[in-house]
Amino acid sequence: MALFIGHIGITVLLLRRVGISWRTVGLFVLILITLLQIRGAGDPLAAFAGFSQGLGILLMLSLLLLHKWHETQASGWLAASSLLAVLSMTCYEINVVYVPIALMAVLASKQRRVLRDVAIVVLPFAIFIAANIYVKSIALNPYPGSEFGHMSAVPQTFLKQLFATLPGSYYALLGHLQYPLPELLRAASTSKLAWAVMILWSTMAIMVLRRQSTQQPALRMAVFAALMLLLVPPALISTSVRYQSELVWGTAHVPIYYQCFGLAFLAAAAVERLSTGKLAKLVTVSVPFIGIGVALSLTMNMYHSSRIDAAFREPRDSLVSALHHGLFDGVRDGDVVRIEGQPIFINGNLIYQVIGKNVSIPGEVAIAGWFESLPRHDAKLYRLFRDPASNNQWRVQEQ
């Protein structure tokens, strides 16, 4: 949550630096809240330990440096911006969204050194692509997510990923099967938190809309950047053979997180324009209805989050507790421990992090060869499992 708030904060800072009014910024944050949907274990908000948020912060820092270059025309700022963006791409290629934004900023600038500045943006990216292709060519176990799929499947996969950005899209197509609408309405209507969020969101929205609209620069560059955040992720996802086969209508891959930021700003810019004209009253009247939608979305997100916690958090927390209470006291460093029927995150690395004991796990997928621990010469063999006879307690049994 702290990283998510930090990402919003640095995005607000960037928007203010480029001259976006507080009114539009407020609308952006409020609309962003309406777009957040927790879909499953691979959700960018509910999983990955803040990975998407950290990546987003790096992208925003790159764009802040890009804006500094725009103000000063000093090539050092552009080089720093480009290098930071490329370094972030080594974590996840989705930050390639920086490239079209930076190129547009360079081409739209009024200075004469366009070719040199284009090279500063493109060259690090080209080196990254070349290195990426080389590493993939020598990989022993290619990752299907990075393999190019069928051109005929690109449009549909693109639309699936793009459609998932719309508020309520997951619930409309899939979520209602898990949490029927009557149950959702009943849960939201009896939740003090849902009522509080609905009232708070609606009040904040009315306050922002009542704020006097101020003069701000043309939004063309900001709108272009938002379009890239919205459209580049599904374009990349749509070419992957893995996601062409995995994505179904209503679901989305991790980059949906960026798409929400893009759509939120585009919607904020549209509302800013509409709310100062003839449709101003209609926009204001719609606020309570959107507030109800926010309350329902919160209730659904909390329901889904609790289900994810039940499936993923409990096994980890209970094992950590058992480890602290001596579960592995009889196991030595280098002994072999077979882990049976457990999720991938119940692994040797977790055991080492909790109690500092380095055991050998046969065929462990989680470590993927990175932190392999070979057994000692006199290793004993143990089995780690959950015992149904003792209320699913963790047990270690020597074989």
pLDDT digits (tens, 9 = 90+) for 169-201: 988 898 888 889 999 999 999 999 999 999 999
Query: What's the rounded mean pLDDT across residues 203-209?
Result: 89
Q: Residue 11 above 90 pLDDT?
A: yes
pLDDT digits (tens, 9 = 90+) for 114-163: 888 899 999 999 998 888 888 777 766 666 666 777 888 889 999 999 99
Residue 245 sits in the same domain as residue 274: yes
Residue 117 sits in the same domain as residue 258: yes
Residue 232 sits in the same domain as residue 100: yes
Q: Residue 309 above 80 pLDDT?
A: no
Q: Residue 281 above 70 pLDDT?
A: yes
Query: What's the rounded mean pLDDT across residues 210-222?
Result: 78
What's the number of domains the chain is made of? 2
Helix (H, G, I), strand (E, B) or coil at 398: strand
Q: What percentage of the chain carries pLDDT values higher than 70?
A: 93
Helix (H, G, I), strand (E, B) or coil at 317: helix
Residue 11 sits in the same domain as residue 68: yes
- Enter the tokens of residue 297: 């979305």
Q: Give residue 77's pLDDT.
A: 92
Residue 336's identity, in one-letter code, is V
pTM: 0.80
Helix (H, G, I), strand (E, B) or coil at 381: strand
Residue 51 vs residues 12, 47, 128: alpha-carbon distances, Å: 20, 8, 20
Range of the domain at 347: 327-398
Least confident range from 16-25, 36-45, 142-151, 353-362: namely 142-151
Residue 127 sits in the same domain as residue 259: yes
**Furthest CA-CA distance within the chain:** 82
Q: What does pLDDT average to over the chain? A: 86
pLDDT digits (tens, 9 = 90+) for 252-280: 888 898 999 999 999 999 888 877 767 77
- 320: in domain: no
Residue 281 sits in the same domain as residue 182: yes
Query: What's the rounded mean pLDDT across residues 368-375?
Result: 62
Q: Give residue 369's pLDDT.
A: 47
Taking the C-alpha atoms of residue 121 and residue 106, their distance in angstroms, rounded to an integer, is 9
Least confident range from 35-44, 194-203, 233-242, 380-389: namely 35-44
Residue 253 sits in the same domain as residue 342: no
Q: How confident is the model at residue 110 (pLDDT cuts 50, 70, 90)?
A: confident
| Residue that wins the pLDDT comparison between 277 and 19 | 19
Residue 27 sits in the same domain as residue 135: yes
Residue 290 sits in the same domain as residue 336: no
- In the block, residue with structure tokens 């959107």: 290
- 121: in domain: yes
Q: Residue 57 above 90 pLDDT?
A: yes
Taking the C-alpha atoms of residue 228 and residue 230, their distance in angstroms, rounded to an integer, is 5
- 263: in domain: yes
